[in-house]
Amino acid sequence: MVETIAATELAARLAAGEPLVLLDVRTARELAICALPGTLHVPLHELAERVDELDRSATIVCICHHGIRSAGAAAFLASQDFPHVLNLDGGVDAWAARVDRAMPRY
């Protein structure tokens, strides 16, 4: 089972300068609505073919709208021997509700 990270904890870790890869697996249309700064966009349907683009030594935080698709992405990465994978609990919706209230919600 992949660990989750709360939006507020992610915000604190980013503010502290922790080097995290924010992997957004939503569609391009969703990403155009809102996104965390500095995200790497790899749509979920492309993840398997693009997995070698990711740094296996990095801590990767998987992100989607509500955390369901990203949980699948995180589990996939863990199965591919990525040792440091987290899933953003509640996705960008939780981020918008708890961290950045100016972020558009959908």
Give residue 1's pLDDT.
80
**Residue 64 belongs to a domain:** yes
If you write DSSP's letter for every residue of 53-75 in order, what string do you get?
GS-TTSEEEEE-SSSHHHHHHHH
What does the block give as tokens for 22? 């924010």
Ramachandran assignment for 100, one of left (phi > 0), alpha (psi -120 to 50 degrees), beta (any other):
beta
CA–CA dist 25, 21 (Å, integer): 12
d(CA 29, CA 11): 24
The one catalytic residue among 2, 36, 64, 74 = 64
Residue 51 domain flag: yes
pLDDT tens, 42-66?
999 999 999 999 999 999 999 999 9
Global pTM reads 0.97
Task: Tell me, yes or no, if 64 is annotated catalytic.
Answer: yes
CATH of the domain at 19: 3.40.250.10
62 token code pair:
């998987």
Domain assignment present for residue 104? The answer is: no
Structural domain tally of the chain?
Answer: 1
- Angle at which helices 91-98 and 7-15 cross, to 10°: 70
pLDDT the model gives residue 7: 98
